[in-house]
Amino acid sequence: MKIPIANSQRGFSLLELTVASSIGLIGILAMTSLFRQGMNATFTVTQRAETQQNMRAAIELMTKDLSMAGAGLPSGGLQLATASGNSKVACNQTGTCYVAGDTYPNGNFMYGILPGFGNGVESGTIITSAPAAVNDSVTSIYCDYNFPLTNFTFTFPSTTQVNVSVVSAAVTPNNILAPGGLNVGDLMLFLVSTPGNGKGSGGTSDAQTAAAVAEITGLPSNTQINFATGDPLNFNQTGANSLAAVAAAYVAGTTITVCRLNAVTYFLQVPPAGSTVQTVRLMRQVNGLNAVPVADNIINLQFSYDVINSTGGTMSANQSNPVASGLSPALIQKVNMWVMGQSVLSAGNKFQSMYLASSTSTGNMSFCNSYSANSTVCQ
């Protein structure tokens, strides 16, 4: 009997196995690399989208406040009382002032916009992640029409107290302490005028006889507001342009207009060492209240202004420091804004940074009529 012998079958050689394994490994590495690049691209896009969202939020909020600048103020601004020195801006009730140069300029004059060239970072801290560029602050001042005071009457039992009564309880607001109402540290504008003695059309416009800005130091009830002297922002002074002058001028035959002012300052804050917050933030501070964050990772903030030159009536564009250039902030017609944002997270220690620019007109500020027959007239 013959025993069948199985035919031997040839397998893969070591060289073939090595080549096949190499090709497979190269394919896997290529797919891994493509996957990683896709993930990095997705992460980068997410970073840029979040950064742009922060910058847009910052721009939109600043645009809203700056476009209202000067609303409700007397044309050209308002001279504040000076008996006890200049009043403060961008400070809270505990005496913390957030920006340098924290007083009103030009002999304590309140304009609708206060440019803050070079003082845009709290305590002058250096932002190491930002380019070597100047950071600015800006303050916009306007009447708060979200909480109108037309439903109240005001009387002056003393030079440091104002009594409040409601005209109609059926109209809102009918309580100065209602949600969104008055707070200690708020600024109030009082304008006294005599009807029909102005120089408007037909000679019937009101003539302003007294005006003052005062800081609320106490709200003991919904019918009383206190304005004690020695207030943190130094508004409650004596003499001309004070609340006492308004009280003396408010007599029979005159009318009084009252509004809460919003003095809104934007600046950057660098968290101190050891803080739970590790990102540079854009801050918004109102009147004498504490500053609150509005956008994270804003590392550079710059402004320039298009200002009318009152001498020739011509426009001086892109003025970064109009006060130092001899231009009046009362004649600012447009505010140009540049915001630089940085991504919250890094990819391989590489942050995404970008600029966003915008501008807004200031329709409530003064203007100059350069087409006047005699000379340039500014109002």
pLDDT by 10s per residue, the chain, length 379: 666 655 656 667 777 778 888 888 888 888 877 767 766 666 666 667 777 888 898 999 999 999 999 999 998 899 999 999 999 999 999 999 999 888 999 999 999 999 999 999 998 888 877 776 689 999 999 999 999 999 999 999 999 999 999 999 999 999 999 999 999 999 999 999 988 755 444 555 678 789 999 999 999 999 999 999 999 999 999 999 999 999 999 998 899 999 999 999 999 998 876 666 668 899 999 999 999 999 988 999 999 999 998 777 788 999 999 999 999 999 999 999 999 988 766 555 567 788 899 999 998 887 666 555 455 556 5
Angle at 33 between CA 27 and CA 34, to 5 degrees: 90
Rounded Cα gap, residues 353 and 16, in angstroms: 51
Across the strands, what pairs with 161?
Answer: 158, 226
Rounded Cα gap, residues 125 and 119, in angstroms: 10
Rounded Cα gap, residues 162 and 154, in angstroms: 6
Answer whether 222's CB lies under 8 Å from 162's CB: no
Amino acid at 164: V
With a CB cutoff of 8 Å and minimum separation 6, the contacts of 208 are 74, 191, 192, 193
Question: What are the tens digits of pLDDT across the range 344-353?
Answer: 665 555 677 8
Judged by DSSP in three states, 171 sits in: coil
pLDDT value at residue 125: 83
pLDDT value at residue 197: 52
Question: What are the tens digits of pLDDT across the range 106-152?
Answer: 999 999 999 999 999 998 888 877 776 689 999 999 999 999 999 99
| 255-269 and 281-286 beta bridge pairing | antiparallel
Token pair in block for residue 51: 């950064």
pTM of the model: 0.85
* Cis before 131 (ω within 30): no
pLDDT value at residue 219: 97
Q: Which residue has the tokens 């050689």?
A: 13
Count of alpha carbons within 13 Å of 97, Cβ hemisphere only? Answer: 13
pLDDT value at residue 313: 75
Beta strands per DSSP E along the chain: 78-79, 109-110, 113-116, 137-143, 152-158, 161-166, 187-194, 207-215, 218-221, 224-226, 255-269, 281-286, 292-296, 298-308, 315-319, 332-342, 353-361, 368-369, 377-378
pLDDT value at residue 5: 59
Answer whether 82's CB lies under 8 Å from 108's CB: yes
Q: How far is CA 176 from the centre of its chain?
A: 25
Q: How far apart are the first and last CA of the chain?
A: 128
What does each C-alpha distance from 284 to 19, 239, 295, 359 come to in angstroms?
Answer: 65, 32, 9, 18
Rounded Cα gap, residues 245 and 132, in angstroms: 48
Judged by DSSP in three states, 359 sits in: strand
Q: Is 53 left (phi over 0), alpha (psi -120 to 50) or beta?
A: alpha
Answer whether 238's CB lies under 8 Å from 81's CB: yes
Pick from 375, 366, 297, 286: nearest CA to 50: 297
pLDDT value at residue 274: 60
